Amino acid sequence: MNTRRNVSKLLLATTNLGKIKEFCSLFEQIPFQITTPDKEQIILDVEESGSTFSENAYIKAIAYMKESGIISLADDSGIEVDALGGKPGIYSARYGGKSLNDKDRVELLLKNMEGVPWEKRTARFRASIVIAWPDGKAILKEGVFEGYIGYKPKGVNGFGYDPIFFLPQFGMTSAQLTKEKKNKISHRSIASKKILDHLQREYNKWETK
């Protein structure tokens, strides 16, 4: 793995189009060539058997790295609702079963929050991002985004639970924020900025060789 071609390629270890779009936006200035499983013709079903976001991110990043031989970035993220004991947590993307779509999961969460007063509707998005290198090295960076669960969906930007994740400091949901604003404050952007700093340092090392 001592060629610029291999070092400069970064595989986003996800097939979630919403995440791919967001990562591509967050990594616009990245000094690596971003690629996806679709572009690399990789079909991989990774079992997320970890008990935490970070464990699942490690599992996915390493699985895609081994399958592709490319530096791979994976994230595991979701929403933790205090009134529900931290659920759905690591099961955010599978909340209510795999047959549900984003809209269904939002409706289910709102139903499970019926009767919960505003002051107890605190929640947070949490993201763990892992990059795995073919030489066995891996790094983890994390980010947290605090807010409340709103009473009904608002906004059309973002994906997943964004339409019901209310931000008091802005008076709107995450789905009502502009892409530029969200990319400065979200859980994934916080973790991504830490990743970017690390990748920039890696790139600079190769540039001087």
- Return per-residue pLDDT of the chain as tens, 209 residues: 333 344 478 999 999 888 898 888 888 877 788 999 999 999 999 998 999 999 999 999 999 999 999 999 999 999 999 999 999 999 999 999 989 999 999 999 999 999 999 999 999 999 999 999 999 999 999 999 999 999 999 999 888 999 999 999 999 999 999 988 988 899 988 998 898 888 777 666 655 55
Beta strands in the chain (DSSP E): 9-12, 33-35, 71-81, 122-132, 138-149, 165-167, 172-173
Query: 3-state DSSP call for residue 161?
Result: coil
Domain hosting residue 147, numbered range: 4-207
Query: 3-state DSSP call for residue 166?
Result: strand
Q: How much is the pLDDT for 183?
A: 82
Q: How much is the pLDDT for 209?
A: 54
Q: Is the peptide bond before 88 cis (omega within 30 degrees of 0)?
A: yes
Q: How much is the pLDDT for 2?
A: 35
Among the options 45, 75, 76, 162, which is catalytic? 76
* Phi, psi torsion values for 34, nearest 5 degrees: -80, 135
Given the structure tokens 């399958």, which residue do they identify?
A: 67
Q: How much is the pLDDT for 158?
A: 83
Distance CA 168, CA 106 (A): 19
Task: Name beta bridge partners: 149.
Answer: 165
Q: Enter the pTM of the model.
A: 0.82
Domain count, the chain: 1
Q: Please, what is the Cα angle at 16 between 10 and 21, to 5 degrees?
A: 65
| CA distance to 18, 64, 77, 168, 185, per residue, from 124 (Å) | 19, 28, 10, 13, 12
| Both tokens assigned to 76 | 């595991």
CB atoms within 10 A of CB 46: 16
Alpha-helical regions (H) of 69-152: 102-112
75 is catalytic: no
Distance CA 23, CA 75 (A): 10
- Strands 165-167 and 138-149, sheet pairing: antiparallel
Given the structure tokens 């991002």, which residue do they identify?
A: 129
Distance CA 55, CA 7 (A): 25
Q: Residue 58 belongs to a domain with what CATH number?
A: 3.90.950.10
